[in-house]
Amino acid sequence: MTPLLEDPLFVATGLGHAFAGQAAVTAEELRGQRWIAGSAEPGTTLLGAWAEEPEIAHVARDWVAKLGLVAAGLGVTVVPGMIVPALPPSVAVVRIDHPDAVRTTSVAHRGEHEAFIELLRDAAAELTVQVRRRLSSHLA
């Protein structure tokens, strides 16, 4: 298994949520939030150590439904950094200030594919730079 990139995770909120407009939230601030997740089982979602015993208010398996519930103010959800620039204007995002608030993308392979793995690493590095640029302009 070779890690390719580390994607920061964010909390998506409705524009009227108390977190909207903040640069970051701590794990303590996230406790007690109503979560919109892809599953009722916290271990199978992007919810991490910062969301101890989360209250999963709604389960939605697709992003359109999740973001619609968020925009309506019915809860918050976790989104990967790569999606932030594509979020609708009805959704605010806040960085999660926690070391586990990252999603690692890896590739499983056998040793004989090193040249291909190097190409994937290069593409992932380029993608990371582009996403960081878009994130900084989106969150500014």
Q: Residues near 131 by Cβ (< 8 Å), separated by ≥ 6?
A: 7, 81, 82, 85
pLDDT of residue 34: 95
pLDDT of residue 73: 97
Is-contact 35 77, C-beta < 8 A? yes
pLDDT of residue 41: 82
Question: pTM for the full model?
Answer: 0.82
Q: What domains sit in the chain, N to C, each tagged with a CATH number? A: 2-139 (3.40.190.10)
pLDDT of residue 48: 73
Average pLDDT, the chain: 88
**pLDDT tens by residue, 130-139:** 877 777 776 7
**pLDDT tens by residue, 59-108:** 999 999 999 999 999 999 999 988 888 899 999 999 999 998 998 888 88
The β-bridge relationship of strands 91-97 and 55-59 is unpaired
| pLDDT-based confidence at residue 140 (cuts at 50, 70, 90) | low
Residue 52 confidence (pLDDT) above 90: no
Is-contact 35 51, C-beta < 8 A? yes
DSSP sequence for 64-108: HHHHHHHHTTS-BEEEEGGGGGGS-TTEEEEEEESTT-EEEEEE-
| pLDDT-based confidence at residue 127 (cuts at 50, 70, 90) | confident
